[in-house]
Structures are given as structure tokens and as C-alpha cells.
Amino acid sequence: MNRLAVVIPVWNKIYWTQKTIESLIKCTKSELTIILVDDNSTDDTMSYSLELGHRLNENGTHFYYHKNEKNIGVNAAWNTGLRIAMATGIENICIANNDLLFTDGWDLPLIDALNNGYWLVSPYSTEMTLPNDWPNGGNRHTNPVSEAMKILGACFMFQPKLIEAIGYFPEEFRIYFGDNWIQDMTRVRELKTGHIRESYIHHFFCQTTSGLDNNKLFAEDGAAYNEYCKNFKLDPTT
């Protein structure tokens, strides 16, 4: 059986985390490991996670919960989860937001693509408002932000060999542009990436960061990413 580790960074918003994890457990066909990286939430995330760990580890789903002492940002949280995943030796790793719904067997087409020439893959998605025909609708997006992006930042999958080739996520940009970075690092190496239509999820879009000054944060992280690209002579994806 395929083995899959799903890294989910969280910061409060326990309602969305619960919906995401319950959907993930129900719909994933691979042997599943969930790695929840908590950026020092102040709501019920910890108590939910402790209860969840007891429940999941009893039924065969592996669960790791790591709570940071402070909010270290999304890219750093991804790195924390990645180090746990890499240490387990699991063959497939997914980075996922905590505001997602999955469809039955969503993981299998992505893993199949990774085993057949792709290095970095994402599902198709719908965004924000759940469609009336969910989960069987055909009106699916590739990326709602930019057609230039060949992955969906809310959910993307790769194998450990990619991290071994490009390294861990830079932490200069705290919330945004980590998905740009991993795509750009595969693009300059001419590694195959893309959306896999047979895999389908719904993304409720930026629920974790709702209430923050996202325009300001996006601009700050964008400036940091552009500076990073200059230093490493990358032509950034927009």
C-alpha cells in the first residue's frame, strides 16, 4: 500500500481544522500519517489534537502533533512537519492547508503521477463557496490566483527526493510565497510539475489568515521573496 504523510500547519481556527482532518481521514486511501504543526494556537486546537491522537493511533492512522512555543510562520511550520515526515521514511508527502475538503481517493492519482515522472503535483480544486454539485462537479480550477502557477498552494504533493534536491523552505517570507518557491525551484531544474485533474478537492480559501491584514503581509512577503530570487538569480513565477 502507498504511504502518505500530510503536513498541516494550524493557527487557531479549530472549526476548519476539524473539518479538514475528518475529511482527510474519510477520503484518503493510502496508509495515512497526519502531522499537525500548531503555531501556538490559543483555542481548543491542543485538546482536540490530543483526543484525535488517541483515536487515530488506535485505528491505524498515524498522528503526530507538534506545538511551537510561538508563531513561527507557515514556511517554518512546513519545515518542522517536513523534518518529521522525512525522518519516518514515508514515500509521499503532502503539504495541506487546514481549510480543505477532499474527495474519495484524492491521493491516488497524485501518487501515481509522482511514480510516473512528476516531481511536484496538485489536485484540481474549487474555491471559497462549496459548489452545489460537490463532490461530483466538473467546474474545477487549476489555481485561482494565477494560471502561471502549476501547483495549488493549498495542497501539493511530492516525494522526499525533491527536498533532498532543493532543500527546505526558506523562512524569510513567513506566510506567503512558499508555494511559489517550490515551484520555481523545480522549474529551474526542468522537473515535471502540474495539476492532476483526476484528483479533486475544495479549498475554502484563506480561512486561517482571515482577520489578519493580508494585503500588508502579502506585500511584505512578496518583497522578501523577490529579494530572495535576486540573490539566487531566479526569475520568480507571478
Band the pLDDT of 51: cuts 50, 70, 90.
confident
Beta strands in the chain (DSSP E): 3-10, 31-38, 62-67, 92-96, 100-102, 120-127, 155-158, 193-203
The Cα 209–Cα 54 span in angstroms is 28
**Helix extents (H) in 167-213:** 178-187
At 202, give phi and psi (nearest 5°): -120, 140
Q: What does pTM read for this prediction?
A: 0.91
The strands making up 92-96's β-sheet, listed across from edge to edge, are 62-67, 31-38, 3-10, 92-96, 155-158, 120-127, 193-203, 100-102
If phi > 0 it is left, if psi is from -120 to 50 it is alpha, else beta; for residue 13 that is left
Q: Return the pLDDT at 236.
A: 66
Q: Return the pLDDT at 70.
A: 83
* Cis peptide bond N-terminal to 135, omega within 30: yes
The Cα 21–Cα 140 span in angstroms is 22
Determine which of 21-35, 58-72, 79-93 has the lowest per-residue pLDDT on average.
58-72
Section 32-43 average pLDDT: 92
Query: What cell numbers appear for 3 in the block?
Result: 504511504
Which is more confident, 224 or 129? 129
At 89, give phi and psi (nearest 5°): 80, 15
pLDDT tens for residues 83-127?
A: 999 999 999 999 999 999 999 999 999 999 999 999 999 999 998
